[in-house]
Amino acid sequence: MRKEKILIIEDEQNIVSFLTTILAANDYQVLSAFNGKEAISIAASHAPDLILLDLGLPDMDGALVLQQVREWTDTPLIVVSARQDEQEKVRLLDMGANDYMTKPFGNSELLARIRTALRQHTRLKNGGAQPGNVFTANLLRIDYTRRLITIDNQPVHLTPIEYKLVILLAKYAGMVLTHDYILHEIWGPYASDNQLLRVNMANIRRKIEPNPADPQYLLTEVGVGYRLIDGTE
C-alpha cells in the first residue's frame, strides 16, 4: 500500500526531526521544507497528501504560503503555530486551512487531526458522503437518501434550516467551519447575524445531544466557529 506523504513546513530543525520521527513511526512518508519558497516548490513537485504549516518562516509569513498553495491545490493543510489569536485562526481557516493546531500539542492529537483531515479530503472527493450514502458518528446517523437523522435509532425532527446546518457540518465533519462560512453557505453571501446561527445551533444541540451543556457531537471552537465530530473522536 502506498504510504501517504506529509510535507512539514517548519524552520526549526529540532521540531522537524521530532515530527518526522512521530510520522515515520506511524507509516507516513515525510517531506520537509525550512522556508516558504522551498515549501511551495516541494508542494508543487511532490504532491503531498497533507501539509503541516508553521506560520513563522524566515522568508515569508506562512499565511502567504497558504494563499499561494490554495491557488492550485486543495491538499489538506493543517496550520501548526504558537499564535493563539482567534481572529488569526478565523482568517487562516477562511483562507483555506483545514485545521489549526496551537503549540504545544500531544502526539495523539496531532495524529488524530491528520487522520481526520485525510479522511475528510477523501470524503469530499467522493461527493461529501461516506460509503453507502450514510454518515455515522457514534450514535448519530444521517441517511442522505432518506433525508433522515437519528440518534440511537430514534428519529430527530429538525427544521429545514437545522437540517441544512447538520448536513453542511457533516460534509466537513472533523473540520472547523467559521461563523461567516456557515452563514454564507446557509443564508447567503450577505448574511452576518451570528445570533441567528447561535440560536439554530442551540436548537440542534437540544435535539441531538444527550446533554446540550456538554456536547458530544456539535462542538464549539470559541470565537471561530463549529465542527461536527467525524466519528473517531
pLDDT digits (tens, 9 = 90+) for 46-59: 999 999 999 999 99
Cα–Cα distance measured from residue 121 to residue 117, given in angstroms and rounded to the nearest whole number:
6
Higher pLDDT, 104 or 31: 31
β-pairing, 29-33 vs 77-81, is unpaired
Least confident of 74-78, 100-104, 164-168: 100-104
Hunting for cell 457514534 — which residue is that?
Answer: 138
**51-84 burial, b if ≥16 CB within 10 A, otherwise e?**
bbbbbebeeeebbebbebbeeeeebbbbbbbeee
Q: Is the pLDDT of residue 2 over 80?
A: no
Q: What is the pLDDT of residues 158-183, one digit of tens each?
A: 999 999 999 999 988 988 999 999 99
Confidence band of 131 (pLDDT split at 50, 70, 90) = very low
**Least confident stretch, 41-55, 59-73, 110-124:** 110-124
CATH fold of the domain at 131-228: Arc Repressor Mutant, subunit A (1.10.10)
Best-predicted range by mean pLDDT (31-35, 102-106, 167-171, 190-194): 31-35
Q: Could you tell me which CATH class the domain 5-125 is placed in?
A: alpha beta
Please report, for the chain, the start and end positions of each structural domain, with discontinuous segments joined by +.
5-125, 131-228
SS percent in the chain: helix, strand, coil, step 5 = 45, 20, 35
